[in-house]
Structure 1
């Protein structure tokens, strides 16, 4: 992320360097100073962020800094998540706020004088002139505008601050490096990457000249440049920056420091994206342990990183490891938030999906039922998350059906329960779609579009699942020759109708995949002998096998 210079005045009479970079995304971390020590209190604001970077003369770092990075992770999709992409799409709309935290920095000096945050020059005087004064004003005002999202106005002030820093402190002064980082961070937010990169590099170059190649400030700047490269998926560049930053932090801070774990984690992410899953897994697991041992095991950031490691384990089919971590996450949520929190519900639901995949179906069912109970308390009765929850439960019931071992009464109860869950899922999803459609095309915000996508996907999945359930039920009741197609086919025809009504022929992403799945299941039913299908009112709207196959080809060809 970026670096920003913030002048500090400490009543502890120091003339040494106090350094701290606070990271946050998508919120802003706003530092508040309190004496006699430097005390940062963080709060989150839902606008683009800027980090604070403070220069004095000498480095002294307390060993208990909590790192503050709230990530926007675009994690690799797992095969397990594919069980219900709509659920996670819907839940991802919930805003995530950074946790409150504070940090103390203690810096003392024998000089006994107040310190303004300006760097002492060789002749013992303090640089102070009209340019340094303007630099401070432009930096502070630019930062305020940046936090307000007024990027154009902030850019003008940051450009001016950079010029004043050069004239007031000298072209190669660390204050110039800070000004470069401020402007680079602004350009990063504006996605003006071609303008940002030279500024990041210039800042690193100045810091290396001023403090040496192994200084912690260089390490922090390299970490920020690594973030910049990672954002653009320039993985080789990000890897080089993080690797060098990690070496510096190990030498200066030691391997038990949370700041060291911070860079280790991001290097692990880069390795994972580069396809080196084994080394990535080890680095990320080690970084999480260091972070926890450093006293941050109850932070939001810690939980986010555990979830990332879960996804890695799932993708590498290490499901037992994934379950163990998910149990830990759920326990943390239960203790800190209780079951009247959607965060706890989401943690339990994620664990239930993994338990389902390893065959622990009864435990998965119990967890999902508890999730449903909580959602019904916390959400309106027709909320789409409730529909998604019931769809998951219906799928678990179908898996449980395979364990009934020929017990007809038990199998029938399982099937009937699943059908009730799917019926309610379909009803809620249709209601949600009808409500969204009534809002009209002129009110289509991005949130509405995402909500429509989620509701339609859940509806298609539920109808597709209902069709499979009807086939299972017919086989159980040995009525294959009479009603195998009737109810199953009706569900698939409803699936096609829903897609054309609500999807408006826009087949994309997971909706496209689910629609094609419905079509293929229908084509399989149409291949059955005609005497295995009962005649009903659906016959008039039943497509031919050729029509279904043509539709499959048409949709699959869409880009």
Structure 2
């Protein structure tokens, strides 16, 4: 009975491993889900004689404002500043990738004192913005708005450019209430100057849509993106970005099918334009995987993940953590779909790459070993019907991997708890706490799985004493409980609902094991009575339920 219940629980938790692993990614990849840089990709000129998109990338394809995605959604957070630069043509300046002052052809513009000041204020504001000196940048952008109004007129596109710059700065500072009226003013001026169907209006609406997306004003964001789509043309390559953002909005509104269709079209446009292997396309494929997972379309998840892995293999090779992470994602999907051998091969290749890229006691290596052990236990379950010896051999391999995962997790926790203890006076960093919780979850899962493995192996060996190895299983589960107390309570790592959930799983498995043994007349183990375990289970369930 215990084995059947434990097996069911084990299978239902396979997908959890991907969450556990993803929590440890940033350590190796050095990436952050919340970009903080004010790096400028490009800027837009609403000049009186020409309207030219300038960028620090040579593969330029359009000259419109393409603001980044909102940081809190993991979308592109890079602000785009507008600037007045009248230059001859994009082709004549193709090799000029330096953002700075450019020749202004209109002598009347140069002779105007206000416009000269406007240009200086804009340039200085942009320079301070790029340096991350936002207070100084704000002062110059405010002055640029005033000079634009006095030099060009209250309703001139230069005023719209200056308003957009200040709005982008406020968005970066999370002063969203200040940013919105500036975006609206810029859009209104552009509509008056160029008409509501002009491409510049669509670009400005995209920026406003980003603001609404951050604020979770989904209907407003939806309208902004739709207008930009109408202006650009729904098959336009730059509309692919807007389609993606609109898909995100629809997904957040619970409209998964509509979101899926839009993001698929966004990816198709990129592929048709030769950008199917770009990081932008990979990012959208990953979001599509998220939608497929929620809707339970495992075949579509697998197809998208295979495409991502193929691109990563070709572009970065296996000496890259990004490729390893893509392969592990596919392996976990294959595991859920029952393709155990392919999942095992991928996970073993991931482990080989990690060992060459990371320290031997890195928590990602421990997580990888735990994944492989789970696959080997499932393979053993299939083999037991045909060959007990082969099934036992798989369990032995799984035990080795679980022992290694346990060792790595303990090493990480020993190091981190010392760091946490040394920083108690001023608080441990979020990164230390995050990695510590990940390591504790991996340790608890490994010990929990080890208890199940011991019982499964005994059944396969058909021992004459039915519960001859029960003490070994109990020992693994008691270690799980002791680890929670040792590393979790004393260092505050147990404040996580994920950690508590693993602790609860160990408690329930140990309670079931002891209950079955007691019913058969086996003496209760030392360390805890069945009633004490049941009381602890109730206590933890009460703690977890609000979360």
Q: Given the two structures, how large is their TM-score scaled by the length of structure 1?
A: 0.79
Q: Which residue of 2 aligns with 1:548?
A: 536
Distance change >3 Å, CA 59–CA 185, structure 1 → 2: closer
Distance in 2 between residues matched to 1:425 and 1:200, nearest whole Å: 52
Q: Which residue of 1 aligns with 2:418?
A: 438
Distance in 2 between residues matched to 1:489 and 1:48, nearest whole Å: 55
Equivalent residue in structure 1 for 2:434, among 440, 450, 467: 450
Shift of 1:258: 1.7
Q: Which residue of 1 aligns with 2:448?
A: 464
Distance in 1 between residues matched to 2:52 and 2:160, nearest whole Å: 20
Distance change >3 Å, CA 220–CA 160, structure 1 → 2: same
Q: Which residue of 1 aligns with 2:485?
A: 500
Shift of 1:221: 0.7
Output one character per residue of 1:129-170: Cα deviation in whole Å (capped at 9) or x when no partner: 222222222222222222222222222222222222222221
Equivalent residues, number: 480
Structure 1 residue runs without a partner (length 5+): 1-24, 29-45, 77-95, 98-103, 109-113
Q: Which residue of 2 aligns with 1:478?
A: 462
**Is 1:48–1:189's contact at 8 Å kept on the other side of the alignment?**
no
Distance in 2 between residues matched to 1:533 and 1:387, nearest whole Å: 38
Distance in 1 between residues matched to 2:332 and 2:487, nearest whole Å: 28
Matches within 5 A, 1:86-165: 105-106=90-91, 116=103, 126=109, 128-165=111-148
Distance in 2 between residues matched to 1:533 and 1:469, nearest whole Å: 23
Shift of 1:546: 3.4
Q: Which residue of 1 aligns with 2:194?
A: 211
Distance in 1 between residues matched to 2:230 and 2:72, nearest whole Å: 24
Equivalent residue in structure 2 for 1:257, among 220, 236, 260: 236
Output one character per residue of 1:302-359: Cα deviation in whole Å (capped at 9) or x when no partner: 1111111122222222222222222221111111111111111111111111111111
Shift of 1:248: 0.9
Q: Which residue of 2 aligns with 1:519?
A: 507
**Is 2:129–2:137's contact at 8 Å kept on the other side of the alignment?**
yes
SS at match of 1:340: coil
Shift of 1:436: 1.1
Matches within 5 A, 1:98-497: 105-106=90-91, 116=103, 126=109, 128-250=111-233, 255-404=234-383, 405-439=385-419, 440-441=422-423, 442=426, 444-479=428-463, 481-483=466-468, 485-497=470-482
Whether 1:52 and 2:43 are equivalent positions in the alignment is yes
Distance in 2 between residues matched to 1:359 and 1:519, nearest whole Å: 28
Distance in 2 between residues matched to 1:533 and 1:353, nearest whole Å: 41
Distance change >3 Å, CA 115–CA 60, structure 1 → 2: closer
Equivalent residue in structure 2 for 1:510, among 498, 502, 522: 498
Shift of 1:411: 0.8
Distance in 2 between residues matched to 1:214 and 1:130, nearest whole Å: 33
Q: Which moved more, 1:346-355 or 1:315-324?
A: 315-324
Shift of 1:282: 1.0
Distance in 2 between residues matched to 1:63 and 1:148, nearest whole Å: 24
CA RMSD of aligned residues (A): 3.1
Shift of 1:387: 0.6
Distance in 1 between residues matched to 2:399 and 2:521, nearest whole Å: 21
SS at match of 2:453: helix
As a proportion of its length, which structure holds more helix?
A: 2
Q: Which moved more, 1:522-531 or 1:175-184?
A: 522-531
Shift of 1:527: 2.5
Q: Which moved more, 1:541-550 or 1:170-179?
A: 541-550
Distance in 1 between residues matched to 2:203 and 2:67, nearest whole Å: 14
Distance in 2 between residues matched to 1:68 and 1:132, nearest whole Å: 26
Distance in 2 between residues matched to 1:328 and 1:169, nearest whole Å: 51
